[in-house]
Chain A
Amino acid sequence: MTQAASLHIPTDWRDFLALTKPRVMSLVIFTGICGLIAAPERIHPVLAFTAILCIAVGAGGAAALNQWWEADLDAGMRRTSARPLPAGRMNPDDARDFGVGLCAGSVLLMGLAIGWLAAVILAISIVYYAVVYTIWLKPRTPQNIVIGGGAGAFPPLIGWVAATGEITTMPVLLFAIIFFWTPPHFWALALFVKSEYAKVGIPMMPVVAGERSTRRQILAYAALLLPLSMAPWWIGGTGAVYGLSALALSLVFLGLAARVGLRVSYEGDTMKPEKQLFAWSIIYLFALFAALVADRLIVA
């Protein structure tokens, strides 16, 4: 190693942490815990903790790989330009190795400590996000969010499978709820950062299909989400606490989506309804899964 190389500023550990997108990870951890608690079987608390840790670390690794692959795109958007890679605070090879290490370690630990079915689903979710979504779909099709939404829908399914060792209707419904929640959540964001996506050439729905079409689709997905969120109650998988909570939360979601879906933006628009829908969509998912856990605990 040369003297010049040895004098490079090493990457701060906080930048490695930032690479795992901790804020996104919090939702992943939360839905994973909910899937685990909502499952009808109990596992040892240490194993439950390990399963959630594996889900979190796997999600962090996938996020690191996502940032490694998209460093050039992130540099072109104000929202992401301060991330460690576009800001030049980290060597891209370090980011890639860090991501691969976290992904491999999480799948291996999940398989050895919890079970190989949960480990395989975790591996699929990582490949789905890092390869299918990030590398393949995102730069090619405006349906990237629709299909890619599956990546974020895996945690409750993994949590459930970690507890029970099998896939049944309930965890598939939890998967479907997040899958159908993702498009209106992301497109609400895409509507008010449309110019940034257009600048870096990402074919987000508002950029390719236009605002009007995007708004209609947000409304359509929100309408589909209403019966889908009620389905766990209808099939007898949950009690009335969840069912009534899901009804109230989804009606508010649909109302906000209708406001976004039926309006037309104008020059200098502050996009307040879109921002409110985006904010509510996050609260919605947290509250819906919290209701699922509350329902299970009350029944227990």
Chain B
Amino acid sequence: MTDNTPPDPNDIARIRRSRNNVVGLLLAAFVVLVFFISIAKMG
């Protein structure tokens, strides 16, 4: 991080968007997992 040129706002937006997508997918997967764990536990 020694480069002093300001980062491109488009790059920042792109990285944030992809991070948000990944976090969203992981949360959705976690909800699905908890659902199936509950079903397995009840069985």
Inter-chain contact A10/B12, CB cutoff 8 Å? yes
B33 at interface, CB cutoff 8 A: yes
Inter-chain contact A10/B15, CB cutoff 8 Å? yes
Residues on the B chain within 8 Å of A88, using CB: 1-2
Inter-chain contact A10/B6, CB cutoff 8 Å? no
Q: Contact string, B7-42, partner A, CB cutoff 8 A, digits 1/0? A: 101011001101100110000000001001101110
Inter-chain contact B15/A47, CB cutoff 8 Å? no
A9 at interface, CB cutoff 8 A: yes
Inter-chain contact A9/B15, CB cutoff 8 Å? yes
Main SS of the interface on chain A? Answer: loop
Q: A7-B7, A9-B7, A88-B1 are in contact. Are A46 and B39 (CB under 8 A)?
A: yes
A13 at interface, CB cutoff 8 A: yes
Q: A7-B6, A7-B9, A44-B43 are in contact. Are A113 and B37 (CB under 8 A)?
A: yes
Interface residues of B, count at CB 8 A: 20
Query: Which residue of chain B is the closest to A87 with respect to CB atoms?
Result: B1
Inter-chain contact B7/A44, CB cutoff 8 Å? no
Main SS of the interface on chain B? Answer: helix
Q: How far is the CA of A264 from the CA of B36 in the complex (A)?
A: 57
Residues on the A chain within 8 Å of B19, using CB: 10-13
Of the candidates A8, A10, A50, the one having the most CB atoms from chain B within 10 angstroms of its own CB is A10
Q: How far is the CA of A11 from the CA of B36 in the complex (A)?
A: 32
Chain A, 32-67, CB within 8 A of any chain B CB: 44, 46-47, 50, 53
Task: List 30 contacting pairs A-B, 8 Å CB cutoff, sorted by A.
Answer: A7-B6, A7-B7, A7-B9, A7-B12, A9-B7, A9-B12, A9-B15, A10-B15, A10-B16, A10-B19, A11-B15, A11-B19, A12-B19, A13-B19, A44-B40, A44-B43, A46-B33, A46-B36, A46-B37, A46-B39, A47-B37, A47-B40, A47-B41, A50-B33, A50-B37, A53-B33, A88-B1, A88-B2, A89-B1, A113-B41
- Chain B residues with a Cβ under 8 A of chain A: 1-2, 6-7, 9, 11-12, 15-16, 18-19, 22-23, 33, 36-37, 39-41, 43
- Chain A residues with a Cβ under 8 A of chain B: 7-13, 44, 46-47, 50, 53, 88-89, 113
